[in-house]
Structures are given as structure tokens and as C-alpha cells.
Amino acid sequence: MKLLIVDDEPIIVRGLAHLLDYQSLGYTQVLTAGSGYDALRLLRQHRPEAVISDIAMPDLNGLELLRLIREEQIATSVVFLSGYRSFDYAQEALQLGAKSYLLKPVEASALESELTRIGREHRARAEQNRLQKHMQALESEEQEHFPHTLPSDDRPFCLVCFHLALQEANSRLADGLKHFSAISKAEAYLAAQGCVAFPKGDYLCAVVYGEKEDCATRAARLASECSRMIEGAMACPFNHVTEGPLTSTRQIPAAFEACRARLNLPASAAPAEDSMIDRIKEYIAVHYGEDLTLEHMSETFAMNANYFSSFFHQKVGVRYKDYLTRVRMTEAKRLLLQTDLMVYEISQRVGFTDIRYFSQTFARHTGEKPKDYRKRR
């Protein structure tokens, strides 16, 4: 990526040019300009991804420069530095699409944070554009072009596909508005989580890389949260499936077809109630370490608490509380055997705030206290 620094005071340009290790932030080339017109010339010539600019410059000020950038549709993100504590300046800058408005003298950490965010957004857009080419190739049945469209990424990822189930009784206009609104909300939510999201016909696809979690766990969590958010807002199902982990973007077409096939199972093969219990189980599998009271779960899945309890028992065969405890104990056993975490840390991770109660519950399920279980194995 390229960075352009603009200020009519040479000493400030030199100071900014050496303020940060731009190379470590992903900016391989740093350009400088001493006026707004010099900056415009460099913008047209080099198309930098980020600009750090003063506002008050004699020939072409920063706000006028940003207007020209927008008129010429130069895809760059602008961070303004200014010595003016003026609300009007800041308001106009943000209305024109500036990423941020920082006051001089700027702190290195604040500028680094902004440039890091810009770099992350730029990489996400680039990835989304490349993936969009994949989906366009799939749309036109040119799947043989997929291996050449996007180079493989060495990070594993999961593909999540969402499908909005519309009620046949609704009018076409209502269906269309509901569909558009749900897809837009979901796409914005996933983008905010750093996922690469792109629409594909009646589906919304998202490429989810792992961060602190592995990609499969993160994909399940984000998909579940996204579905709940949309269902709560739209009062209609927002079904999803995941495929992965995948190791190459060449696998996206086949993964998408697999997702589409699973989402389009006939009603007899995937009853609505079974779909709901699957989502509840998936939610528990992701959030077992949280305070999953019966009230929380019934509110999350828009049910009366008594009905939720009865529904869960009927479908799963055990009481909700017993099922949750079983999930937590299974994870506790795994952590005892596969990690060096202290018992109190494991207790907290699996949703217990009282270590004594955790030990009692563990002993009741396994016949041993946690320390003895770990030691004997």
C-alpha cells in the first residue's frame, strides 16, 4: 500500500514521514507533498490507499482537495490533521468522507491506530473484490477460471451461507423489501466483524478467517449471532450453514454449492422445529461459558420460558439445564487434559463463577474431583 503525507510546512512533513514505522503497518511507499495541488498530482499518478493531510493550506486546502478526490472517484482514505479546534471544520471533513479528524500535535498512537484501521479495511475490500470475481465466474458457469482468479491464501477459513426464508403469502413488494433489508443488515454486521461478505442471488456468503478462535468456532459464533439479530428485526427465519475449514479459495465454488444444497432441503427433510433446535444447540456450543439462564435463552430465541423448557426437553430428551451442564463438563474434561490451565480458570471458562460448585458438579458427573481426574490420566 502507499501513503501520501500533505502539509505546506516542510518540518511537519519531515516529522510525519519519520513518526511511525509505516513499513510495519503495510505501507511500502511513503509520498510527500508541500501543497494541495502537488498532492492532487501525486494522487492521480500513484493512487495511494491513505492520505494524511493538513486542512489549512494556501493554494488548495484539505477540504477542497477531498472534494476533488471524491469528484474524480480516487479510492483513498483521508485522515486530516489540523491545529484548528473547530467543530465546523471537523463536521465538514467527516461529511465529505474523511476517515478521521485529529488535532495537532498528533499522538503517534492515534495516527497508528487510524492507519492500521485503513489498511485493514483496504485489505478487506480487495479480498471482497477478488471473491466477487469468483462468484461472478460461478454465476456465468465459468468455474474453470476460478483457480486463476484469486491466488490461494495460506490461512484456513470457513464459508458461511445465509438464506432468507420468505413467506409465500406475502406480496412480492413486501418480500423484496424484507429480503433486501435483512441481507443489507447482515452484510453490514459481518463486514463490521472483519469478514468478507458478498451477496449471491438469494444468498449472502461470508468468508470467515480465524482470529483468537479457530475459524470454525468463529464462523459458528458469528453466523449464530447474525441470524438471531436478523430474525429479531425481521420476524422471519434467516437460515445458515457453514462449510470448512477450507484451505484454498479454489474450494469456494464447491463449498457454495454444498451450502446451497443443504439450505434448500425439502421441508420434510428439515422441519422448522428441527432447524430451531439445531440453532439452539449451536448457540450453546458457542456460548456455554456465558450465563445461559433459561430466561436468557427464551428471550434469545423469542419463546416463553416455560415453552422453551418444554420444547427443549421434548426435542432433545433431557432437560435444558442438564444438557448445558453436560456440554460444560465435556469441555472441562478436555481443558483438564489438553491444557495447563488452573482448575479455577477452567471453572470460569465453562461458565461457573463458584469453583467449589464447579468441583462438586464435576465430581457428580465423573466420580472424581477435577485435580484427581487430571492427575490420574
Per-residue pLDDT of the chain (377 residues; tens, 9 = 90+): 999 999 999 999 999 999 899 999 989 999 999 999 999 999 999 999 999 999 888 889 888 999 999 888 898 999 988 876 666 767 777 777 888 888 888 889 889 988 998 888 887 777 666 666 655 555 554 444 443 434 445 678 888 888 765 444 344 444 455 556 666 777 777 877 878 777 776 778 888 887 666 788 888 888 888 877 766 655 555 678 888 888 777 778 888 888 888 777 544 444 455 667 888 888 898 888 988 888 888 777 767 777 788 888 888 888 999 999 999 998 999 899 888 889 999 999 999 988 899 999 999 988 899 999 888 87
**What is the domain extent for residue 279?**
273-377
DSSP string, 210-223: -SSS-HHHHHHHHH
Q: Is residue 136 part of a domain?
A: no
The answer as to whether 140 is a domain residue is no
Of 195, 230, 264, the domain-final residue: 264
> For the chain, what is the domain count?
3
Residue 156 near residue 210 (C-beta atoms within 8 A): yes
Phi-psi category of residue 367: left, alpha or beta, with phi > 0 → left and psi -120 to 50 → alpha: left
| C-beta pairs of 266-274 under 8 Å, 24+ apart in sequence | 272/237, 273/311, 273/315, 274/315
Rg of the Cα atoms in the chain: 26
Question: Which phi and psi angles does 239 have, rounded to 5°?
Answer: -75, 150
Q: Is residue 126 part of a domain?
A: no
Same domain, 236 and 278: no
301 to 9, 165, 225, 321: CA distances (angstroms): 59, 17, 11, 16
Cα–Cα separations (whole angstroms), residue 210 to 16, 87, 110, 157, 371: 34, 40, 26, 7, 32
pTM for the complete prediction? 0.41
Residue 245 phi, psi (nearest 5): -65, 145
For residue 47, give the CATH number of its domain: 3.40.50.2300
Report d(CA 119, CA 134) in Å as an integer: 23
Q: Measure the CA angle with vertex 86, ends 85 and 87; round to 5°.
A: 120
* Burial class (CB within 10 angstroms; exposed 0-12, middle 13-18, buried 19+) of 367: exposed
